[in-house]
Chain A
Amino acid sequence: MKKIKHFLLFFATLLIWLALSLSIFGARESALAQKADPSSISDDQVNAIAKNLYCPVCENVPLDVCGTQACEQWRQVIRQKLAEGWNEAQIRQYFVDQYGDRVLATPPARGINWLAYVVPPLVILAGVWILVQAFRSWKRPLTASPSLPEPENLSPEVLKRIEEELKKR
């Protein structure tokens, strides 16, 4: 009798475990099925990626606000890819592969594109350096003009007068 009790208990536990596993698996499957439906992807999710992409047809207009049919098709592609479980980096790479680097809001840091990252800081540094030099020169006391006669050529009387004039100030 005890053995039968143990067996029933074991059987019941097994059934509960199976039921739980099936329900979890089923829920996951249904979640995946839901994810594959593009209509479940919101416009905000699409636009979060689209705002960093630019369609070459509509230059300088981010994809999230571009109203052309081409851009609408692109947003549908983003929606579809999101529904298929792609992440932002994968989608961006897909667009780069299809349409080139020009679709990106910021150029990738390679080749001549490095200039876009290196030149602005260099120009700012150069500007700061020029400003510092300018401020330093402005702070220097006024020096005598080179056109003035050499002091050693001045007579002692003139020098004395200059000294007196300076003392008065």
Chain B
Amino acid sequence: MSVQSIPEKQSQQTNPTKGLRLGPLLAWVVVIALLVILAIGLLRTQQGPVNVGQKIPDFTLTTFDGQTIKTADLRGKVIVINFWASWCKPCEQEAADLEAAWRFYQARGDVTFLGIDYVDTEPEALAYLKKFEITYPNGPDLGTRISQAFRIRGVPETYIVDQQGVLQFVQIGPFRSLSQIKSVIDPLLQP
């Protein structure tokens, strides 16, 4: 080893422009982009259900009997959106009360009930509707798009929306009685 070679190597190592190559810069850009995507994903999962006071995400429901219902066309009415499934035992607790509430308000014409069947199989869903004699519109949540838009955490969950499409009440779990359902809907209705 010769001492004379030291200055050459030193000059190679101390070149300040070498640290600012395109490769590391690109690597940092990729890492930051990935972190941003990860953060967006985490924020989405942490958001929870649609909040009271927010406009609900509009959706189209195709019912089991082929009827198409768009929530955007239901402005001016109170909408009761109930997420349920045939395999869900707590859903059975409120099924009769929801149907009774629907029959109570149906004649007025300013309240609509929508049943969204979450992650279910059609024969069992239809058997459930028949068993509880449910007559308000019900349809499958195809592609789980509606439940994802509402970011539901399970079933049953019920969202009550006012005439302007703004969420006014969320019931996580089953309603306990018909009077409880009425106590939420009545204040939203015109006298």
Q: Which residues of A contact B (CB under 8 A)?
A: 55-57, 68-70, 73-74, 76-77, 96-100, 102, 112, 115, 119, 122, 126, 141, 143-144, 146, 148, 150-152, 159, 162-163, 166
Contact = CB atoms under 8 A, between A and B. Distances in A.
23 contacts: A56-B144, A57-B85, A70-B87, A73-B124, A76-B121, A96-B143, A97-B142, A97-B143, A99-B143, A99-B144, A100-B145, A100-B148, A141-B1, A143-B6, A143-B9, A143-B13, A144-B6, A146-B14, A150-B7, A151-B3, A151-B6, A159-B3, A166-B1
Interface string B133-164: 00000001011110010000000000000000
- Among A68, A99, A115, A159, the one with the most B-chain Cβ atoms within 10 Å of its Cβ is A99
A162 B87 contact: no
Contact of A126 (B27, B87, B144): B27
Contacts of A151: 3-4, 6-7
B85 A70 contact: yes
A150 B27 CA distance: 36
Contacts of B10: 143-144, 146
B119 A163 contact: no
Given A77-B121, A151-B6, A98 B87 contact: no
A99 B37 contact: no
Contacts of B27: 126
A77 B3 CA distance: 81
B120 interface: yes
A68 B119 CA distance: 12
A141 B6 CA distance: 11
Given A70-B119, A152-B7, A100 B143 contact: yes
Give the interface SS of chain B, mostly helix, strand, loop or mixed.
helix
Nearest to B147: A56
Interface in B1-45: 1, 3-4, 6-7, 9-10, 13-14, 27, 30, 34, 37
Contacts of A150: 7
- Among B13, B37, B85, B144, the one with the most A-chain Cβ atoms within 10 Å of its Cβ is B144
A64 to B, nearest CB: 17
Contacts of A70: 85, 87, 119-120
Nearest to A70: B87
Contacts of A163: 3
A112 B1 CA distance: 55
Nearest to B9: A143
A73 to B, nearest CB: 4
A100 B144 contact: yes
Nearest to B86: A73
A99 to B, nearest CB: 5
A100 B140 CA distance: 12
A122 B26 CA distance: 12
Contacts of A146: 10, 13-14
B6 A98 contact: no
A139 B85 CA distance: 65
B180 to A, nearest CB: 26
Nearest to B41: A112
Contacts of B9: 143-144
